[in-house]
Structure 1
Amino acid sequence: MDHGASRTSGTTAGTGGLATAPAGLRERKKERTREALIDAALELFWRKGYDATTIDEIVAAVDVSRRTFFRYFAGKEEVALARSNEVERSLVGALAERPSAEPPVVALRQATRAIMAALEGDPKRGSSEAYVRTRRLIEANPTLMAATLRHAMETERLMAAEIARRQGVDPHTDLRPALTVSCFNAVVRVAMDEWTERGAMHTSELAAAIDEAWRAMAGLIESGWLGSGWASDED
């Protein structure tokens, strides 16, 4: 299977424009293989546990070789976090596409809504059941939790850099982009925790939970809970 796939690369003289069709088929086949590996890995992790699952079991479930697995993923950690990492990368991209006139928090909220809408139309990622099971898998495993936190920190840096670019400030000397993103992500994390605790719901309800958390944050600011104590003791 692997050897046959490797021989399909390249073009044949005289095929002209027809060479693009096999290339498109190859890309779709690669994407299907990647998705199948993620599905098989997650199912095994949920059923047997992350540590008890081997790469050999994952590739056997998809009927591919270990070499094929390592074409797509560096190891079990990467395949376990593949879908959650894809969502975070998509959020950074969605933020970059927001109109430049939008204030930072508006752009962040609208980018999140766009990602939620895209997930809602995706049968794999729009289902809360898979998300909740994966999140509990991560929380139960220190290795996956550490990797998730590392990736979240990198995503926050990218988001802060994008906010700084939009606002025309230097993220290395101006703390406002990083503080804005950290505050935004804290609200989203609280909403996701609440959503997870409620049980299996659809992605659209996660979007509603995020909006609810933002209303609560606005209430905190307006009520005065956050109105004092921010200045240093020296001030």
Structure 2
Amino acid sequence: MAAEDRARMGLRERKKQETRDALSQAAVRLIVERGWSGATEEDIAAAANVSVRTFRNYFSGKAEAVAARHVDRVRRIADELRARPPAEPLWEAAGAAVQQQFAPERDLDRSAPDQAQADSVRLMLTEPALQGELTKAYTTAEAELTAAIAERTGTDPTSDLYPNLAAAALGAAIGAAIAHCLQAERPRPIGQVLRDALHQLTDGLPVP
């Protein structure tokens, strides 16, 4: 394949990912603002400046669009983990990769949500249609982390327990940090809670 063809293909893939990201972000934002039934696929498409047909080319519905946000973020964590310096210890590399994806400058994670936003997110997460999609998303995300950890550690996830266990632990730490932020009486920026969660995980979860 010629370099020009590869460049065009790379550009197309980036544009597709940008559209997917825009739709997923719009879905989360509008549902948090308006409630599950108050945000339609048409609204989400309009917010992302695309047609409803384009929305349906990417997602089967609102639930998949929301769940995709988690999958895509974890894929970026896995890619960053692969790119970290080879000599860096695994858990330091994993912590840095996670922190980069929850950095303050990233869209919905600039600061701690206010109480109304946290309540809206909790309500969104109780939607039955979304719960099914999130279960699939967590499975896909854990597989992405397992593959990246296996590559970094030179292990085989089909015969070695380690990459599967490490991925499950890392995914659980991320999930626990997000849940803690949503349930806290005074919402905190996710980055702070994640740092604490990852430090405790790296230290072997010592008893407080």
Do they superpose with TM above 0.5? yes
**Which residue of 1 is the match for residue 113 of structure 2?**
129
Please tell me whether residue 170 in structure 1 is matched to residue 148 in structure 2. no
Query: Against the structure 1 CA distance between its residues 175 and 136, is the aligned structure 2 distance closer, same or farther, given a 3 Å change threshold?
Result: same
Match of 1:94 among 64, 80, 99: 80
**Which residue of 2 is the match for residue 184 of structure 1?**
170
Contact 1:38 1:79 in 2 (8 A): yes
Please tell me whether residue 105 in structure 1 is matched to residue 88 in structure 2. no
Contact 1:161 1:171 in 2 (8 A): yes
Matched positions, count:
193
**Residue type at the aligned position of 2:56:** F
Q: Identify which range, 51-60 or 155-164, moves more after superposition.
A: 51-60
TM-score between both structures, scaled by the size of structure 1: 0.64
Q: Highest CA radius of gyration, 1 or 2? A: 1
**Residue type at the aligned position of 2:131:** M
**Which residue of 2 is the match for residue 160 of structure 1?**
146
CA distance in structure 1 between the aligned counterparts of 2:44 and 2:143, rounded to whole angstroms: 33
Please tell me whether residue 70 in structure 1 is matched to residue 56 in structure 2. yes
Contact 1:164 1:177 in 2 (8 A): yes
Task: Give structure 1 stretches of 5+ with no counterpart.
Answer: 1-19, 226-235
Query: RMSD of the TM alignment (CA)?
Result: 3.6
TM-score between both structures, scaled by the size of structure 2: 0.71
**Residue type at the aligned position of 1:76:** K
Q: Percent identity?
A: 28
Larger RCO (CA under 8 A, 6+ residues apart): 2
Query: Against the structure 1 CA distance between its residues 33 and 96, is the aligned structure 2 distance closer, same or farther, given a 3 Å change threshold?
Result: closer
Deviation of 1:97 (Å): 0.9
Deviation of 1:183 (Å): 1.9
Deviation of 1:80 (Å): 2.4
Tell me, what secondary structure is at the counterpart of 1:145?
helix
**Residue type at the aligned position of 2:71:** N
Query: Against the structure 1 CA distance between its residues 211 and 40, is the aligned structure 2 distance closer, same or farther, given a 3 Å change threshold?
Result: closer
**Residue type at the aligned position of 1:211:** R
CA distance in structure 2 between the aligned counterparts of 1:135 and 1:46, rounded to whole angstroms: 6
Q: Identify which range, 38-47 or 184-193, moves more after superposition.
A: 38-47
**Which residue of 2 is the match for residue 83 of structure 1?**
69
CA distance in structure 1 between the aligned counterparts of 2:42 and 2:144, rounded to whole angstroms: 35
CA distance in structure 2 between the aligned counterparts of 1:147 and 1:33, rounded to whole angstroms: 16
CA distance in structure 1 between the aligned counterparts of 2:119 and 2:71, rounded to whole angstroms: 16
Task: Give structure 2 stretches of 5+ with no counterpart.
Answer: 1-6
Query: Against the structure 1 CA distance between its residues 44 and 101, is the aligned structure 2 distance closer, same or farther, given a 3 Å change threshold?
Result: closer
Deviation of 1:58 (Å): 4.0
